[in-house]
Structures are given as C-alpha cells and as structure tokens.
Structure 1
C-alpha cells in the first residue's frame, strides 16, 4: 500500500532555506511583481498566480543566461540543473528527474526529437531564438502527458504571434564571440504587421572550435573507472591525468536554425502557421565513445590508452542532426455561450540524427511524427474557471546501424484532460485530471499498451497581501518508453550494454509539496519542500556482469523516493537615483533520491551477441542511492543597475557528491564564478546594447556529477563572451 508522503530533508539545506525567512519578514508592505503570462497554462495568468510551481526566464534575465543548449540555459534556476554530454548536448534536470520524465516543449507542443532515447542526443530547440522559457516543476502530466511526470520546459519563440505588435516592423539582432571556443554567433528576428497579418522571420548561425579546459580532459584513473567502494575527496592527491591538456578535442559545434511564420489575428478567431529548421553538427568528446567487441568494430581493449587509441586510427565521432518542423495554432473566441474559446495547437516533425565516425555513417536515428492538442476554455460556472481538451500524438522511431540498441518503434497516444480553478476567499484552489493511453508497436515484437491516469490538487492561501502559502498533491503515472522496454545491445553513450524488459508496468508517483512566497518592497522570497514517492520506478540497474569489456545493465522497477528543498531570495539593497539600484540574490537547492527496497533479487537475462545470445543469472540490488543525482548547491550574486548600465557578479558552489549509487564513484565539489556587464542606450526607433559576460572566471576544473562524461569532458575553463545587441 502506498504510504502518505512525508518530508525528511538534509539539515544543511533546510537551514539555508529557513535562514532567509527573517529577511523576508522584515518588510511589511506587499510588492507587486511584473506579470509575465505563462503560455503553457490554458487558463493564462502569470507565474505567481499559478498554483503549481512555475519559473519564467525572459528579458534581461534570459539574455544573461542563454547558451547553446536548453539545459544549461535554465540550469541556474532553483531545483533545475542540466545533463552534459559535451557542449552540444544539455537536457534539463528538474528536481533530480530527467530524460523521459521531463517533457521539452516548443510552443506548448512536444519537441518530437530523440533526446530522451540516448544521453548523446541533443534537444532540437535553439534557446537564443526564445522570447521566454517556462519551467514547470513537479508533475505536469495533466496538460502534457505521462512524459512530464517530473516536470516540463516550454520554449516560447513567437513564430506564431499571440498579439499584434505595436510597430509595423520590429525585431532584434545579436552578434557575439567567446574566448573559450572562438565562438562566432549571429542571430536576427523580424516581425512585420500588415492589417491583421503578422509575418515572422528568424535565423541563427553558430560556429565554435574545440573549447579550452583548465587541465587534462580525462580524469585520474580512479575517477574514470567507477568501482564499488571507491572514495576520493576534494583536496586529495590525484593519480596522473591523461588525454589532451588545455583543450577538449572534438568539442566544436556548427548550428543553423531559422523559421518563417504567418499569423492572422481577427476579432473572433485567429490562425497561424510556421515552418522551422534546426541543424547542428557537434562532436562527442574523444574518449567518451566506445565500441564493444562482438557488437561493432572492436577497437577498445583493456588497458588501452585513449590518446594512443586516436593515434592508431580510432576515429572521432560527430553527430549530424537535422529537424524540420511545421507548427499550427488556431482558435475561435466564444464559439458558443458556455465557452470563452476553443484553441488548437499542433506540430509535425521530421527528425534525423546521424552518428559519423571518421566522416562515415555509423548509426542513423529517425523520428517522424505529429502531436495535436484541442483545448476548450469554459465561461465561469458556479465560480469555477477551467479548461478541458483532447491530446493525440503519433511517432515512428527508427534506428539503423551497428550501434542501434533500440528497435524501430511506432508510438501512438491519446489523452483527455480537465483543469478547474476557483477562489474561496483568500484560498485559490486548482484541481485537474487526465487519462491517456499509450501504444508501442516495435518491429518483430509484440505491441504494448499502457493506460495512465493522473490527478492533481493545488492551493494558494493568501496569508496577507505580502505572503502566501502553497500546497500541492499529485498522483501521476508514466508509460515506459521503447528504450526501457526493448533495448538490447551496446549503448555507447552510457558505455554499457542495456537490456530492456518488455514486462515493465506503468510507473506511478505520489507527490506532496509545501511552499512559501513573500513579495515585499525590499524582498522577494520563495521556499519549497517536496517529496515524491514512486511505485515501480524504472531505472537502469547494474548486474555486475560484463561482456566484451562493457558492463551489462538491466532496465528494472523498484519503489523509490525523491526528497528535496529549494529556496531563493532577492533582496533590494539600495534604490538610489545617484548610486543606482543594488540587488542581492541568494539561492540553494538539494535533492536526495533512493530506492526503497532491501536486499537483492535474482534475475535471468540474455545478452545478444551477433546471431546468438549469452544467458546470465545474477543478483540486483533493490536499495541504495540512485545514480547521477545533483549535489547540494548554493549560490549568490550581486547586481547593479544605473541608467543604461547593468552589472553583476556571483558564484555558485556545487558540493561534493558522495551519496552515490552502487558502482558509481563520488565526485569532487567546485565553485563557478561569473560576472556580467552591459550598457544599453536608446536611439531613434530602438536601442543598442553592448555586453561582456564572464563564466568560470577562476578557471576551475569542474566535472558535474550529473554528466555521463564527467571523467572524459570537464566543463569549459575561463570564458569571456562579448557582443552587441540591437532592438528595433
């Protein structure tokens, strides 16, 4: 029987959060925040009005943090970090959950790429072309399906207009460079108005070379080979490092993106259509890509040095990604007396991802599909405002090549959802539910059908004009993915052989969250404590078996619990016409994820090997920490605004992570120091802005615990980005 969620959190993280409360309580008057509409919700409203936790990046805040990957762009929000598979790949991690549990959306519709299939697959969305980015924390399955059981990230790009621009022609442009990788990036956006029509055009070109790193690419041998019981602490003498020094080989990137869109906005209806392309050619850092004897080329031998490997013919691996997409949005206002509007969103995507070894095609991944959502927003009924709708989707995934470890699979899904909101005096209550069915039809295997039902209740209680308490309860379900069900072979990205389990059941979660928000004249404060208990959590379990020198891992199910805390405070220190405005931001987050079982269980499995297979029987642990969970993190920055000048300096401390899974090595802590400077001046019909951004200014070696490549690819060293923006 499912236990009622309880919160049990690390004292240091709790102390960080509670220490900020007295600061928030010092001021008495409420402060009204700038409202930014959350487009992902059919009920509208800004982030603060949402009962479920939402963060929105836009304007100068987005300009300061945007990078070439979506994960890194949102990674400094409390509770949000990023995966890392070299500079070309970064997918968001929300409260310790990632991959198929975090939905990535473009304009409210799934990205429809292959980024959840493998850690080396990039998200096919360009952050530099975004108007705003919305991060929905906690289960977002009500609106977006079972793939959002851990949260969702929605990128709003404006390619289909929501409103008529005030000027006949408006837009922005930017050119930038970066010292760490000789980056050359240029982007532009244009929006033209002709009557009720809005025409949109955007484009981006990015070229970078291999990026600089503080020391050696490959970590000491003790880190690179994860062994049970191995411990290494910050400050201890490391073994000799190997690989290239000062530069991460094969980390260069070439990206091209662009779109054209047209929207008609009438008094009673609207219609918009946009077509876009995203193309990226990025490298997998040398030493990170392996081959398994008997599965492919058989280049890797025990004790073989990575640098020597490349000297003797091992080819660098690059990924050539192309996605073409068509988006549609349409709606009718007040079609009948009891509805405010009916809205349709849809997208068709043709995605291809080719792995190139020495310029030759190794493995090809394709994903062609569509998704559509029809939403009806109701008129107020007995005090309730709400929306209901239908979402359908279909995709055909194919993997062809010697390293295709997942079979070609067709996936169809259909879901019905409803969300309702009502105010009861100082309490705003939001309820919702969704039921969906997912069907997977793999080649040469029996099809699988899953039903998933999700329910949600959230409330905001206005304790005073300045303070509100937030409560949330969620019950969510997720259908297994084709990788978890049908994987059978060497997965080079995880440096292992993965074996799926066609008998996996629907994953279920129960979540509880309590939060406190304060908005005063001097302080903005947020605190959240949460717990999610999973029944039949799907994870990749180590078997202790190796074949062709690669560890064999099985997709397995076991109950698990995620507990965490996150806090953020923004203090308005000084507001002066002569000295400018000074603000201090402090934040921190912590999450712990563990399996809830005990002991071990016996499993029998087979590993494909050419035209036959090898049978094994082994014990799998049913308890312990889950792998690659982000460590405790605290950060602070001071910002200054004076006229057209804007400057900030800050640091983020990532603690060492020693709460590790079986056969997972601990990781050292590190501190990243950043600074930003910009000057903006108005001109007739627009504005110009010069900017200078410094990252990792102390040139520290940083190997994120969340990265599969932490032993082969540290983060970039000292980087100084510079450029100019134009607004018109």
Structure 2
C-alpha cells in the first residue's frame, strides 16, 4: 500500500507540468513545436564540467567498441576498474579494489534493483549495447545516489524516457557474431516523435554456447592442491582392512574416471541466452516533460564453477564409507544408487531470470521562485530468478520486489549549481530452496542530500552532505516459507547434522549512515590542473552480511552473517593531476582509503555441510592506489590521425589484524599500451595489456599468475551507405590462459581464449 501511494503521487506530479505547459501554450502548441525540440531539462544535475575530474565517462564510438554482455566487462579496460567475471553473462565492476554493495550500479539514476549484490553469480540487468553513455562517479557526486557507494557509482544512461523531441526518427542497430562459443548479439534502438510527444523503442538478444579456453578449466594450482589432498587421503587409508581397501580401489577407479572427464578446452556451464527491450514515451511542454518507460529482461545461462553434483556426491560417498563395515551388500546397492544419482546430477546448473521494470520521470523548469529545475524519478521492479539443477529441478528461487524514487531541486543562484534532494527505496527480498542462505528480508531506506558546486578566485569546488536511515527486517517469514524452513531443518536433523547449529540471524536492524565530501580543483597557467578530494562515508551492512546462514555453493562456502555488525566508515583522500589540450591528455589519481569497521568474509577453518565456513567480520583496513591515463596525438594528416595511449593502475590493501592481513580478491597491478589510427573511413587499433601476478593472497586463497591480453580492431565506414560500418575485432589474440583474481571462481573458470568477432553497425 505504501508503494501505491508513491505511484499515485508520481502520476499526479507527472501530469502537472504537462497540463500547465499545455494550458499556457493553448492553441499555439503547434506553432511552438520547433521550439520544444530544443528544450532540455538537465536530468543529471551535476554531471557536467564541475565533476569532470571525479567522473569517468564512456560514450559514443568508445562505448560501442567496448560493449560486452556485462557492465563490468564493458568497463574493465578503464583505469582503476576491474570486473568480477562469472562466465560470459555476469560481471560487476570493481572500483579501486572495492566491490559488491560498495559500488552502486544504476540505470538512469535508479538502482538496477536486481540480485547482483547478493552473489557474484547473479547478473546486473543493464544492457551496455543499448546505453548512450556510462558514467563512473566518485567523490561528492556519489552522495546524490547513496552514502554506501564508497567505491563509486556506475550510472548507465539509456534514454528510455525521452527528455526532448528528436529531429525526425533517429536510431541505430548492431549485429555481431563471434567464433568462440558462436556468440551472436543483436541490438536496435529507435527514437522519434513530434509536436510535444517523444517515444523510444529498444530491443536486444544474445545467444552463445560454452566458450573455448587454451587449457584446463581448473587452474594448475588448484589441480596440484587437489592431488596433494588426494595423496594425503590415500596415505590415511593404508591401515584399512581388506574390504575397505577394495572399496578404496573402487573409489580410485571412480576418481580416475572423473579426472579423465576433467574439463579441457572449454568452460562447462558458460553458455547463455539473453533478451530484453523497452518502450518509453514522454509529453514535452514549454516548461518541462513527463515520461514513462517499461522494460523487460530475460536470461537463461549456465553457472560455471558450481558444484551441486560434486557436493551431493561427496556427502553420499562419506555416508557409504561409514556404513561399509556394517553391511557390504547394502553398501553395494547404495553405491549403485549413488552412480545413478551422479549421472542424473552430472553437469552444471543454470540460472533462469525474469525482470519487469516500470520507470516514471518528470522534469520541470523554473518550478517556483529560487529554483531552476525540479526533477522527479521513480522505478518499480519485479525480479525473479531460479537456479535450476542439471536435471531441470528448481533448486533455489530468488525474488526481489523493489522500488526506488528521488526528488531533486536545483538552485543555480545559490552557487554554480546546487542540488537539494530526497531519496527513498524499499526492497522485499526472498530466497527459498536448498541454497536459501539468507532469510526473507524487508529493507527500507530514506535519505536527504545536498550537493553543490562553487567557483571563486579561479578555484572550483564541489561539496556534498547526505544523511540517511536504513532498516532491515528479517523477521517476517510467511506461513509457506516457515513450513519450508522447518522441513529443511527436520531433514538435516534426520541426517544427524547441525544438531548444535546456532540459530540463523534474524530480527530488525536499523542504521543511520551519513557522509560528507569536498573537492577542489586548481588550474595553473601551464594548463595543468590539480585536484584534491576528501570524503567521509558510512555504509550500512547489507542483508547478506547481517543474516546469511547456509550453504552458498557459488562461492564454495557455508556463509554465516553477523547481525551485530555496525556501520562501516571510510575516510578517502585523493589527489589528481590532469591536463587536456588538442593533442595531449594526462590524468593521474593517487588515493588512500582508510576504513573503520570494514566488513569482510574470513575463513574460520571449520566446516558445515562439507563446505568451509566463511563468516562475516569487521576490522580496520586501508587501501592505497594509483590510476594513470595518457593519450598523445602522435601524427596528424589531412584525413586522419594516429594516437598513442598508456594506462596503468594498482591498488594495495590490508586488514588491520594479526597474522595474514592480505585482502581477499584484490586486483593486481596492470599496464596497458595502445595505438589508434583513423584514415578517412578506416579505423584501426591495437592494444596490449599486462596483468601482474597476485602473490600476496589471503588465507585459503590461491595465487594467480599474471597474463597478457592483445586486442585488435578494424572498422570501415561504407560511403555508399551513410551511417553503415563493418568491423572485425580480436581479443586474447595470443590465446593465453587468463584468470581474473577478483573472481570467486577464477581457479575454476578462466576468461575466454582467442576470440574473433565480426559485425555491422548502422545509424540513421
């Protein structure tokens, strides 16, 4: 009912400026149509020049070339940004070594409202191929969208709700096909309108099989560790009696059979099918616009690295081993059942996702005295995905019914630009099934914020404040969910497990996070500009950190939350040096991020359900790093130019604890070189990237070898068909084994091997 009130208010507010504008224009609306086409209400209040030195922007041709199925992979070549690879379909951004809830991913200034924060195997539901522009905000600008975004805010601009009436019908389409996994992608978007009405339409589809790799799916270090553990297990079994030895020989034969079937040359479970689209429309008057959009996403893809079958088999095997001495005949019968079950469960699980989303937006110019603009934005989301066992049975069902809204008032008189705002959201999250490691939880938040830009004596300054309230209520099981949990609990007790288990965390937890940020930018006479930024941010724990309690096979762990966790606080200091001229661009950022009560997972050394226990804890931590990007236009001639590029980044982090304080899954250092050329209608580029070794690893984490990536691109604009481009690009041209250290399955699923992709783009 609370949401219905928000929606009703949104409809009333949405119609108000349109009705007012139509009444004011009267019969002159038709005559004024040409004027309406140039009206634009700034939807992203401070995304302009004032925040340029704390914003990474990818748009236009650069975005078209970098676009990948996930937003993380799309941005992974930008300095300071990596991706949590989990197959082709999944990858969230990692910014300055911070991931998960510390990096907020949005679609048109509203959260994606999916389940990607819950686990690395859950995708973000934004489509890079449809986007007009992607921004990565850091510093004061993040306070517009959430104090918990300590790492940054990734905002994907889709234009699905038009702000202006386009000049005729505009559109673009793209088709591409890859040899690796036979991946095929198609995307189209069209914008049009007239006479105070604008509309938008987009659609995309993607299909791929399992992708190829140059070696084993499992890393050499993981295979060596498994061989060592198997050798120790064999040594422990030397004193078994004769019957046990015979059983052990059968087990060895079975293990050898498994080894023979170990994945080589491809990644099992890396296939995908994805599709979606959106329809949007806006009424545009002399003083603003009001619009609505409805979008949908559908995905069915494999989950590489999952071990449902392996886990179940191991559990049954140990049960049979214990019963062997009691009844050999009974054991043999059960062993046959085990083999049948193993065959039934062989393969990787899949994830079947559906999302429907409705967005409303209103922009009003000069709403009342003292303010230049009023912006209202709201989204409502119906999200569900199920994880299907290899035999097609539903294993776990995730639902996330959520809404988020924001109201912004822009005052251009108080400073160079000032925004006052209110943001509210609600989330009803539920996980039911064998991997229900988080209880059903209702989360609500409310926040007020202020962000301003100032200019005085040649110095630009940005500043921001934010105060919020966050509530997580994990104590509202409905009858069906309660019965399911009781049945699961009774089953475990029948198996003789978890009898001493601690009751899962539950209840209601409230937090009041607040944040402040200030940045100054000092130009010099030599065109160099210095920038300094200081942020104090706090983040409320998310429900997974508070209430997790159960097996999470995606991360190969039994996760345990801690309902006593407090708010996380970060103090970030950053210095930038930049210069931009017609032929030269330089940007460097050095930063230090100190955390009090940093929330992280650690291995306890215990086991539950034959999985290692990963518990959430809090300790102080620190991050230091450097980002560098340089471009130099080396050659210029009548119909083209040649540009050289250099990028470098590194981040180092440690926990303030005794013993091994290395931060888990920390990105390695990275250096990249590139050359881009334009000759009339021909465009070409060659890029080299070297990823460093990851040797300083956390407890129970394996090191990762560095690797090289060589990429090439060539495109040609056909003059006979204006707006048409054909292109060919290659990735990992040296066919090297590549493993992202930030990925939780990096030892089970490397990145794709050599990949060639051809495509065509058209713009009208």
TM-score range, shorter-chain basis?
0.7 to 0.9
| Structure possessing the higher relative contact order (Cα contacts under 8 Å, 6 or more residues apart) | 1
- Listed one character per residue, the Cα deviations across residues 295-347 of structure 1 (whole Å, up to 9, x for unaligned) are x9946879x9xx99965743420000111101111021111120001100110
Q: CA deviation at 1:463?
A: 1.2
Change (3 A) 1:674 1:301: farther
Partner of 2:641: 581
Q: CA deviation at 1:380?
A: 1.2
Partner of 2:179: 179
Partner of 1:714: 750
Kept in 2, the 8 Å contact 1:139–1:150? The answer is: no
Partner of 2:522: 461
Matched, 1:474 2:510: no
> Matched residues in 2 for 1:366 and 1:139: separation?
33
Q: Per the alignment, in what secondary structure is the counterpart of residue 484 of structure 1? A: helix
Which residue of 708, 723, 732 maps to 1:687? 723
Unaligned runs of 5+ in 1: 1-36, 229-239, 600-622
Partner of 1:17: none
How do residues 75-474 of structure 1 correspond to structure 2 at under 5 angstroms? Answer: 75-137=76-138, 141-166=142-167, 168-220=168-220, 222=222, 225=225, 243-285=262-304, 288-289=307-308, 298=315, 313-357=345-389, 358-381=391-414, 383-443=415-475, 445-464=506-525, 466-474=527-535
Q: CA deviation at 1:41?
A: 4.3
> Matched residues in 2 for 1:486 and 1:346: separation?
28
> Matched residues in 2 for 1:430 and 1:93: separation?
25
Change (3 A) 1:359 1:697: same
Kept in 1, the 8 Å contact 2:309–2:346? The answer is: no
Q: CA deviation at 1:221?
A: 5.2
> Matched residues in 2 for 1:661 and 1:39: separation?
46
> Matched residues in 2 for 1:277 and 1:462: separation?
46
Change (3 A) 1:224 1:446: farther
How do residues 524-563 of structure 1 correspond to structure 2 at under 5 angstroms? Answer: 524-563=585-624
- Listed one character per residue, the Cα deviations across residues 272-303 of structure 1 (whole Å, up to 9, x for unaligned) are 1000001111101255556756xx9946879x
> Matched residues in 2 for 1:39 and 1:286: separation?
45
Q: CA deviation at 1:682?
A: 4.4
Change (3 A) 1:566 1:439: same
Q: Per the alignment, in what secondary structure is the counterpart of residue 585 of structure 2? A: strand
> Matched residues in 2 for 1:654 and 1:522: separation?
28
> Matched residues in 1 for 2:204 and 2:563: separation?
42
Kept in 1, the 8 Å contact 2:682–2:715? The answer is: yes
Change (3 A) 1:550 1:364: same
Q: CA deviation at 1:224?
A: 7.3
When the two structures are superposed, what TM-score results if normalisation uses the length of structure 1?
0.85
> Matched residues in 2 for 1:97 and 1:62: separation?
23
Kept in 1, the 8 Å contact 2:546–2:564? The answer is: yes
Kept in 2, the 8 Å contact 1:51–1:460? The answer is: no
Q: How many residues align?
A: 649
When the two structures are superposed, what TM-score results if normalisation uses the length of structure 2?
0.81
Change (3 A) 1:66 1:241: farther
- Listed one character per residue, the Cα deviations across residues 22-45 of structure 1 (whole Å, up to 9, x for unaligned) are xxxxxxxxxxxxxxx998842341
Structure number with greater Rg is: 2
Q: Per the alignment, in what secondary structure is the counterpart of residue 566 of structure 2? A: coil
Q: What's the Cα RMSD here?
A: 2.6
> Matched residues in 1 for 2:521 and 2:192: separation?
40
Unaligned runs of 5+ in 2: 1-39, 229-258, 322-338, 477-505
Partner of 2:692: 655
> Matched residues in 2 for 1:681 and 1:38: separation?
36
> Matched residues in 1 for 2:696 and 2:662: separation?
7
> Matched residues in 1 for 2:41 and 2:443: separation?
29
Kept in 2, the 8 Å contact 1:140–1:151? The answer is: no
Q: CA deviation at 1:222?
A: 3.9
Partner of 2:46: 43
Structure with greater strand percent: 1
> Matched residues in 2 for 1:669 and 1:215: separation?
16
Q: Per the alignment, in what secondary structure is the counterpart of residue 512 of structure 2? A: strand
Kept in 1, the 8 Å contact 2:41–2:364? The answer is: no
> Matched residues in 2 for 1:425 and 1:337: separation?
28
> Matched residues in 2 for 1:474 and 1:178: separation?
43
Q: Per the alignment, in what secondary structure is the counterpart of residue 749 of structure 2? A: coil
Partner of 2:31: none
Structure with greater helix percent: 2
Q: Which moved more, 1:436-445 or 1:467-476?
A: 436-445
Kept in 1, the 8 Å contact 2:315–2:610? The answer is: no
Partner of 1:619: none
Which residue of 545, 548, 558 maps to 1:497? 558
Partner of 1:607: none
Matched, 1:58 2:91: no
- Listed one character per residue, the Cα deviations across residues 163-222 of structure 1 (whole Å, up to 9, x for unaligned) are 2222x2110111110001111221111111121111111101111111111111122354
Kept in 2, the 8 Å contact 1:342–1:374? The answer is: yes
Kept in 1, the 8 Å contact 2:551–2:609? The answer is: no
Change (3 A) 1:44 1:539: closer
Change (3 A) 1:531 1:224: farther
> Matched residues in 2 for 1:435 and 1:337: separation?
26
Q: CA deviation at 1:359?
A: 1.3
